[in-house]
Amino acid sequence: MARIWIKYLLLYIFVVLVQVLVLNQLQVSGYLNPYFYMLFILLLPVSTPRYLVLLLAFFTGFTIDFFTDTPGLHAAATTLLGYVRTPVLYLVSGRGSDISEYPSLKNNGLRWFLIYSVILVLAHHFFLFYMEVFSFTGFFRTLIRVIFSTILSVFVIVLSQFLIFRE
Amino acid sequence: MWSLFRYFYRHHVVILFLFLEIVGFILIFSYNSFQRAGFINSSAHITGNIYDRYSAITDYFNLSIVNRQLAEENARLRESLLAQNRIDDSTSTIAFIKPDSTGSYHFIPARVINNSVNRQHNFITLNKGARHGIRPDMGVLSTQGVAGVVSHVSDSYSVVISMLNIRWNVSAKLKRNNYFGSLTWDGKDYRYALLNEIPFHVDLMEGDTIVTSGFSSIFPEGMPLGIIESFKKEGGDNFYQIRVQLSVDFKAVTYVEVIDNRKRPELDALEKLSNNGKDLD
């Protein structure tokens, strides 16, 4: 049990470092801002109590806020992700089928993981980008930013599943 | 009473969710008022250290660009010195300005340890802070022109509001005819900003240089901001819509200078005095 927690602690440190030191430095254009750190919340065990998922989500987002000088922005967006995670898990797996304890690509297959992460990342990015501009002027410009960034984020997240978390 | 507890317990997930979102929103809204001293100061200390170490490595990749920028700046400065006849060609080859000249501006060199261009509110982190004499509201120049203004300072790091921040604008003027307006970033492209409040009767040309007006005590007059890329008259407006190509390449800002205006307290005190006098503004 303790080993699992250490594993997740390392995962937390890893996703924060990748986000802050690599992806946040990738200044491609305003339209492509990939976010990776939500992977920590995506990969939490299915049996994690929901209140704990929420608290961890808020905390992870807040860590990113610390580095980007955006108080509350990532924290609020990730909390939303943490809240919709459980319904999405059941939605994607379909009624009656049992979900494996660890919602990773290896355990559930590419198709399952892709749908799971697209829905959650889209919810997160939608909230994040609209809260950042904080207005509906330029609605479509922000929408394009959301869609492009979601594609890139999901790509990075899925890629990481192939490269690093294979075992 | 029990049923109330039971109700809370049954819905504890929703309640916790709403609570955390409210906390998040309070943080975001208090950010909107731009007074975020507590947050940024606490973060600058921890995160500044990490960024500092990181940039110590990545800076090597920018060396050639930085080298070129510094050389160009040197050339520019030497030229303006020559123009003012401050170099005595006969005595020395090294440029020399009398240290006691009336210059009320003092420059503190610093290195950029973190920077972004892709958000709506971009900030720059510098590796110097209060210990080196940096205070909030000081202007920041890169080798190519105006980069931003200091917003928060910790002991050894400082956070600068980048030009690329939709909540900041700078008082600017046309170098050719001195008409002034304000330069703002629209959050779209890190290479372009908008110049507002230039009335229709002003004669404009593409390629006109935009510099700081010197009306605020933050920047001295005549610091380069950019050149006019295009302008148009929009129906129903009284002012031109002017697109300015920024002179600073924000993706490659590495070394900057923080401007310490020695006469600023005096100026601010004076302006405050005159504002108190009329109150209506």
Which of B104, B95, B130, B113 shows the shortest CA–CA distance to B256?
A: B113
Q: What residues of chain A lie within 8 A of the CB of B13, using their CB?
A: 50-51, 54, 83
Residues for chain B: how many in total?
A: 281
Q: Which of residues 204-233 of B touch A (CB under 8 A)?
A: none
Strand partners, B211: B173, B224
Residue of B nearest to A67 (CA): B47
A55-101 pLDDT per residue, tens: 999 999 999 988 887 888 899 999 999 999 999 988 888 766 667 78
pLDDT in tens, chain B (281 residues): 788 888 888 888 899 999 999 998 888 877 655 445 445 555 566 777 778 877 777 777 777 778 878 877 877 787 677 666 554 444 443 434 344 345 677 888 888 888 888 888 888 999 888 998 898 889 999 888 899 999 888 888 898 999 998 888 899 999 888 899 999 998 888 899 999 888 888 888 888 999 998 887 788 888 889 999 998 887 777 888 899 999 998 888 888 889 888 878 887 788 777 766 554 44
For chain B, domain boundaries: 2-32, 102-275
Residue A24 near chain B (CB below 8 Å): yes
Classify burial at A14, counting beta carbons within 10 Å of its beta carbon; exposed 0-12, middle 13-18, buried 19 or more: middle
Out of B13, B21, B251, whose CB is closest to A76? B21
According to the model, what pLDDT value does residue B32 have?
A: 56
Classify burial at B214, counting beta carbons within 10 Å of its beta carbon; exposed 0-12, middle 13-18, buried 19 or more: middle
Q: What is the rounded CA–CA span in Å between residue A149 and residue B217? A: 40
Cβ–Cβ gap B21/A73 under 8 Å: no
How many separate domains does chain A show? Answer: 1
Number of H helices, E strands in chain B: 5, 12
B64 vs A149: which has the higher pLDDT: A149
**What is the C-alpha radius of gyration for chain A, rounded to an integer number of angstroms?**
15
According to the model, what pLDDT value does residue A24 have?
A: 81
Q: Has the ipTM of the complex gone over 0.90?
A: no
According to the model, what pLDDT value does residue B281 have?
A: 41
Which of A147, A64, A89, A37 shows the shortest CA–CA distance to B24?
A: A64
Intra-chain end-to-end CA distance of chain B, in Å: 57
Identify the three-state secondary structure at position B144.
coil
Copy the structure tokens of residue A52.
Answer: 């704990």
Check if the beta carbon of residue B198 is closer than 8 Å to that of residue B204. Answer: yes
Residue B199 near chain A (CB below 8 Å): no
Query: For residue B119, which amino acid is it?
Result: R
Q: What is the rounded CA–CA span in Å between residue B143 and residue B120? A: 24
Size of interface A-B (CB pairs under 8 A): 101
According to the model, what pLDDT value does residue B56 have?
A: 77
According to the model, what pLDDT value does residue B193 have?
A: 93
Write the CATH number for A108.
1.10.1760
Strand partners, B162: B148
Cβ–Cβ gap A133/B31 under 8 Å: no
Cβ–Cβ gap A66/B123 under 8 Å: no
Residue B196 near chain A (CB below 8 Å): no
**What is the C-alpha radius of gyration for chain B, rounded to an integer number of angstroms?**
23
Which of B84, B156, B136 shows the shortest CA–CA distance to B268?
A: B136
Which of B147, B234, B144, B140 shows the shortest CA–CA distance to B183?
A: B147
Check if the beta carbon of residue B242 is closer than 8 Å to that of residue B227. Answer: no
Strands (E) across B25-156 are located at 105-115, 121-126, 139-142, 146-153
The domain in which residue A142 lies consists of: 2-163
Which H helix or E strand runs over B82?
A: helix B63-83
CATH topology of domain B102-275: Thrombin, subunit H (2.40.10)
Residue A162 region by backbone torsions, left for phi larger than 0, else alpha for psi between -120 and 50, else beta:
alpha
Extract long-range pairs of B48-52: CB within 8 Å, 24+ residues apart.
Answer: B48/B113, B48/B125, B48/B127, B48/B154, B48/B156, B48/B157, B50/A20, B50/A21, B50/A67, B51/B113, B51/B114, B51/B125, B52/B113, B52/B127, B52/B157
Residue B57 near chain A (CB below 8 Å): no
Q: What residues of chain B lie within 8 A of the CB of A76, using their CB?
A: 20-21, 24-25, 27-28
According to the model, what pLDDT value does residue B103 have?
A: 60
SS3 readout for chain A: CHHHHHHHHHHHHHHHHHHHHHHHHCCCCCCCCCCCCCHHHHCCCCCCCHHHHHHHHHHHHHHHHHHHCCCCHHHHHHHHHHHHHHHHHHHHHCCCCCCCCCCCHHHHCHHHHHHHHHHHHHHHHHHHHHHHHCCCCCHHHHHHHHHHHHHHHHHHHHHHHHHCCCC
Q: Which of residues 85-124 of B touch A (CB under 8 A)?
A: 116-121, 123
Q: What is the rounded CA–CA span in Å between residue A36 and residue A121? A: 9
Q: What is the rounded CA–CA span in Å between residue B96 and residue B83? A: 14
Min distance B120 CA to chain A CA atoms (Å): 7
Residue of B nearest to A30 (CA): B118
According to the model, what pLDDT value does residue B40 have?
A: 57
